[in-house]
Amino acid sequence: MPKKPRKNSAGTPATTALTAAGTDFTVHSYEHDPAAPSYGEEAAQALGVAPERVFKTLVASVDDRLTVAIVPVSATLDLKALASAVGGKRATMADPAVAERTTGYVRGGISPLGQRKRLPTALDASADAHETICVSAGRRGLEVELSPKDLASLTDAVVAPIARS
């Protein structure tokens, strides 16, 4: 992968938002296998990127308020840590249909960018260890690479340790 991301677009709400914001990013596409057991690990393997640099976008309910969590595909979301990071007490995973309807994306292709409805967002602190990370660009088989600082800024994310290995 290139060191300096370039601007380009793949025509999703996520890439449209990045272009509109003037953010440097690179789109990476791969052939999605519907039989793949993990969308994120499939992306990491297909792109030849360490799983610690590919982040999945999860939607949880924190005190009955939908919240986005962005964590490495090599880790799991710590619901208690997520709740604490966004000032809540209790978190549970959101119903997948509700997550799809609220974000405007399908499961396995939910991007933290360009969502239909802006939700509170938390980015795992491990992202800061990398110059760039990859997140879904808004559909299965499409990832966008950008700096963690740009991602946090564009999503107004709280950066906190919300993942566990």
pLDDT confidence bin for 19, thresholds 50/70/90: very high
Which two three-digit tokens encode residue 127?
A: 């992202």
Please name the CATH architecture into which domain 13-164 falls. Alpha-Beta Complex (3.90)
First to last CA, the chain: 25
DSSP helix/strand/coil, 107: coil
Task: Please say if the pLDDT value at position 74 is more than 60.
Answer: yes
Candidates 103, 105, 113; CA nearest to 133 is 113
In eight-state DSSP terms, residue 6 is: -
**CA 143, 112, 103 angle in degrees (round to 5)?**
110
pLDDT band at 3 (very low <50, low <70, confident <90, very high): very low
Point out which residues pair with 160 in neighbouring strands: 124
pTM of structure: 0.91
64: how many CB neighbours lie within 10 A of its CB? 8
**Domain ranges for the chain:** 13-164
pLDDT at 6 over 60: no
Kindly state the DSSP code that residue 104 receives in the 8-state scheme: S
